[in-house]
Structure 1
Amino acid sequence: MTFQTSADCTGSPLHEVERYLAEHPDTEAVEFLITDTNAVMRGKWAPAGSIEKAFTSGVAFPFSMFGLDVWGREVMETGLHVDTGDRDGFCRAVPGSLRPVPWADVPTGQVMLTMATEGGEPFHGDPRQALERTVARTHAAGLRPCVAFELEFYLLTAADGQTAAEAYRPVLSLGDGPDRQNMYALSDLSAHAGFFADVRAAAKAQSIPIDTIISEAAPGQFEVNLKHRVDGLAAADDALMLKRLIQETARRHGLRATFMAKPFMPWAGNGMHLHISLVDGEGRNVFADPARGQTLLEAAVAGLLDTMAPAMLVFVPTWNGYRRLLPGSYAPTRAAWGHNNRSVAVRIPAGETAALRVEHRIAGADANPYLVLAAILAGMLDGIEGGRTPPPPTDRNAYEAPAPELPDQMEEAVGLFRKSDFIRRTFGVEYRSMFAAIKDAEIAAFRSEISPLERSTYL
């Protein structure tokens, strides 16, 4: 049994280019976009005449793009830089990704790319390829992932200050103090109605399926939810494009949008929650099957819990991200699950049986959606294929539950990731080594920096 995904659409690739240029005849430029290991969007600008090349021979980019740390610096230990000649790969367009750029100053299109070797093979360092392999494994099992992403972010405004921490503060809709929550406040949404109207308009222009927009648990914090898609690759593409869209729209409004996992210690962090069910060849949710649905759901949950600790570095890939994982913060600290319980790592939301699904609540908003979804799907499949059984669900405060504690330091997460057979099977030996080397370099950089608190205390 096979399923079509966004990566194997039928039809001539050039038909997409011809259709787009017919609909947007004034196009002057194109942005070629590719996502690196840290979910940073990289690429280049080119004249509109270059669009066709992306759909045929491909656009050259160095493999070393995937061996950069979060600051965009080369990490030599990845083996992708000068020691191997800093060779080029060839990036081809993701079918269906040619879209207009509403915020551009001149009529511009954008197209997402994925990396191939000189011989045309998928390049192991491309995060999108990792998800594509895992989606293919799901399809081989006769299933398709039905996925919806939820992304939290802060809207910031410029402030007086010399340091990055002082230069921005959360936007406020009212004149009250910045320590208030005002959760789910319509007033906060109304105060930024123009910004969110532009977000929705840009999403419509780019075919990004936005659903609800919510004022969240801290001043200036919001959440945008995407509609579910029965296509894991397309759902992750949407999440990445939504982040870029929000950041660019904020810039046009004189604001800054940040998906940093924990930008402010007193307030809630930014999470990336995923809602996932599995459907069969007839489009039916297998978790809702009266005969076997509960068994499959619990097996999937067991797989997620068993693989959670070694995959923690994928879910929380930044030094800052571990500051978000605090008791009582609604960011999980233990490998626990439960029904209609927001303190657990894997939640089964309340709702109709036909919509039965898991909500994975660990990832920070700054994580790479391709890698996060790949790890989650692989964990669910491990549980289902192994017929695993989870521990009893938690119906109370999961921060005090008798469940394994999750890594709360980046060093521990790197160690578990590096030696994990689950990570090897999901991402491959080369990717496991490359990703761990990048994170080692980032840890070393943070450890070499003396903080203002140290100076103010000891100088």
Structure 2
Amino acid sequence: MTSDTQVDAAGPLDEVERYLARYPDTEALELLIADTNAVMRGKWAPASTIEKAFTTGVAFPLSMFGLDVWGREVMETGLHVDTGDRDGFCTAVPGSLRPVPWADIPTAQVMLTMTTETGEPFHGDPRRALEKVVARAAGMGLRACVAFELEFYLLTARPGETQAEAFRPVLSLGDGPDRQNMYALSDLSAHASFFSEVRAGAAAQGLPIDTILSEAAPGQFEINLKHRTDAMGAADDALLLKRLIQETARRHQLRATFMAKPFMAWAGNGMHVHVSLVDGADCNIFADPSKGETVLESAVAGLIDTMAASMLVFVPTWNGYRRLLPGSYAPTRAAWGHNNRSVAVRIPAGEGAATRIEHRISGADANPYLALAAVLAAMLDGIEGHRKPPPPTDRNAYEAPAPELPDQLDDAVRLFRKSDFIRRTFGVEYRSMFAAIKDAEIAAFREEISPLERATYL
């Protein structure tokens, strides 16, 4: 969660010294690294490890990035026993040393990034793909201004139910049927202590929370992060906000889920990405009165052209494709439009410096580094190629004459695996590794016989 002002050019140990001067009672350190599926992995360590994390690094196996969503080794990635399961070294991300508000003892946390034994960036670390695209933008004299929106459900357990039925959305107004109550302040008030603790934790960790709202289903909420001109920091913020929400929910005897489609009858959870591009003078190039609209449309064209190939990073889970339903406000076609929430790429209402793209495809369970890398790379491709998008959609995009997006995980894997855009953006090795992990997950779901099948055919 680095920012333009948090990284100290004087050296990483200055950050450690400042932190320990402010929190001298620190006893423990949580070492955090996001795997391919955006699952936080790492270690708990004594506070004395902080300096090591910022200098020589902490050893972790490279195979950490070859795990499926359940944390099982996927041998087809080539990162496990066939290579000796070698260690890499993870060093602290500058600016990411923060307190852990929910810990039982004074605890710090720090985010890590992986290098090989020789000190080279490791291709399997999802951060590396985004770093590469950020560097490409910098070479064009541009920086991305990014904000994430995260949707989630708060769930409460129902004692005595089976595992499949054990959780339901929280109800805000006493007993009664689950009901939609969009934008209801009463729903926020009913969980004021939870959201107050989330805000306090975000302030302690430097996470720039903006608005909080009740969403399109009972117990569903959205928290938005503020825009920042540090794409890496924005992706860090998204991951750390998810962790903060989940840990705070646990303290309130609730469960927060970012599962893309936890309930078929209700809206799914999305991760919308708002992006504009600023030049060396900190001016939004989409707002330029002479050529801003043309550049914006070129960026949109790049997104439309690469959308199907990138679906695997936007919707990386078996469950995620259940979210993409007509009329659900989750897109099903490669369409774009102005002030239209049924499209995949929306240009929100507003003028001038606020002109931006809202990318609406990703599920809340997507990896922010990978999703943002694909979005930025596509925008840059469109701008560099002076591409022209199809006409915008001004009505129901589910009925628009636009290409349908993949609606199954295996179709997304197939398109991802053969895409030259994916090869250029993520590299051949990462493309192969990620596809192998998803193949293994598909196989696991296909081997599972559902309760519905047994109820129907036994």
| Fold-level similarity (TM above 0.5) | yes
Distance between the aligned counterparts of 1:369 and 1:6, measured in 2?
22
Cα pair distance change 1:293/1:57, threshold 3 Å: same
Q: Which residue number in structure 1 is paired with residue 382 of structure 2?
A: 383
Residue correspondence of structure 1 range 381-420 to structure 2 within 5 A: 381-420=380-419
Specify whether residues 18 and 117 from structure 1 end up closer, same or farther in structure 2 by C-alpha distance, changes over 3 A only.
Answer: same
Q: Distance in 2 between matches of 1:308 and 1:185?
A: 34
Give the aligned partner of residue 339 of structure 2: 340
Call closer, same or farther: CA 1:161–1:268 in 2, change over 3 Å: farther
Q: Secondary structure at the match of 2:48?
A: helix
Counterpart residue identity of residue 22, structure 1: A
Percent sequence identity over aligned pairs: 82
In structure 1, what is the Cα distance between the partners aligned to 2:204 and 2:269? 26
Alignment of 1:62-73 (within 5 A): 62-73=61-72
Residues 283-317 of structure 1: CA distance to partner in whole angstroms, max 9, x if unpaired? 00000001110110000000000000000000000
TM-score by length of 2: 0.98
- Which residue in 2 is equivalent to 1:222? 221
- Match for 1:187: what amino acid? S
Residues 299-343 of structure 1 show CA distances to partners (whole Å, capped at 9, x for unaligned) of 000000000000000000000000000000000000000000000
Note if contact 2:148-2:225 (Cα within 8 Å) is conserved in structure 1. yes
Contact 1:30-1:47 at 8 Å conserved across structures: yes
2:74 equivalent in structure 1: 75
Please give the secondary structure, in 1, of the residue aligned with 2:112.
strand
Using the alignment, how far apart are the partners of 2:194 and 2:164 within structure 1?
24
> Residue 323 of structure 2 aligns with which residue?
324
> For residues 327 and 157 of structure 1, do their structure 2 counterparts lie closer, same or farther at Cα, with a shift above 3 Å needed?
same
Q: Indicate the residue corresponding to 2:114 in structure 1.
A: 115
1:104 equivalent to 2:103? Answer yes
Paired residue for 1:52? 51
> What amino acid sits opposite 1:430 in the alignment?
E
The CA deviation string for residues 110-131 of structure 1, in whole angstroms up to 9 with x for no partner, is 0000000011110000001111
Q: Specify the alignment match of 1:170 in structure 2.
A: 169
Of 367-376 and 346-355, more deviation after overlay is shown by: 346-355
Query: What code does the residue aligned with 2:315 have?
Result: V
User: CA 1:7–1:122 in 2, change beyond 3 Å: closer, same or farther?
Assistant: farther
RMSD (CA atoms):
1.1
Query: What is the distance in 1 between the residues matched to 2:10 and 2:331?
Result: 44
Alpha-carbon distance, 1:179 to partner? 3.4
In structure 2, the CA distance between the partners of 1:37 and 1:331, relative to structure 1 (3 Å rule), is same
Equivalence map 1:242-391=2 (5 Å): 242-391=241-390
User: 3-state DSSP class of the match of 1:113?
Assistant: strand
Count of residue pairs brought into register by the alignment:
456
Q: Could you tell me how far 1:10 is from its partner in structure 2?
A: 1.9
Q: 1:399 aligns to what SS in structure 2?
A: helix
Deviation sequence 1:77-116 (CA, Å, 0-9, x none): 0000011000000000000000000000000000000000
CA distance in 1, matches of 2:65, 2:222: 29
Is the 2:8–2:14 contact (alpha carbons within 8 Å) kept by the matching residues of 1? no
Taking the aligned partners of 2:177 and 2:389, their CA distance within structure 1 comes to 42
Matched residues in 1 for 2:327 and 2:446: separation?
Answer: 28
What CA deviation, in whole Å up to 9, does each residue of 1:249-306 have, x standing for no partner? 0000110000000000000000000110000001000000011101100000000000
CA distance in 2, matches of 1:307, 1:434: 20
> What is aligned with 1:30?
29
Distance in 1 (CA, whole Å) between partners of 2:8 and 2:238 is 20
Go from structure 1 to structure 2 and tell me whether the alpha carbon gap of 1:6 and 1:115 turns closer, same or farther (over 3 Å shift): farther
Deviation at 1:5, TM superposition (A): 6.1
Change (3 A) 1:9 1:428: farther
Change (3 A) 1:182 1:377: same
Q: Tell me by how many angstroms 1:160 deviates.
A: 2.7
**Contact 2:156–2:167 (CA under 8 A) maintained in structure 1:** yes
2:125 alignment counterpart: 126
Q: CA deviation at 1:165?
A: 2.3
Instruction: Give distance in 2, aligned partners of 1:316 and 1:7.
Output: 32
8 Å Cα contact 1:6-1:231 kept in structure 2: no
2:171, 2:178 within 8 Å by CA — same for their partners in 1? no
CA deviations on 1:176-235 (whole Å, 9 max, x unpaired) are 644310000011000000000000000000000000000000000000000001000000
Contact 1:151 1:273 in 2 (8 A): yes
Moved more, 159-168 or 9-18: 159-168
The residue identity in structure 1 corresponding to 2:263 is F
Distance 1:8 1:150, change over 3 A: same
Structure 1, unmatched stretches of 5+, are none
Would you say the 8 A contact 1:330–1:343 is kept in 2? yes
Amino acid at match of 1:224: I
Q: Gapped runs of 5+ residues in structure 2?
A: none
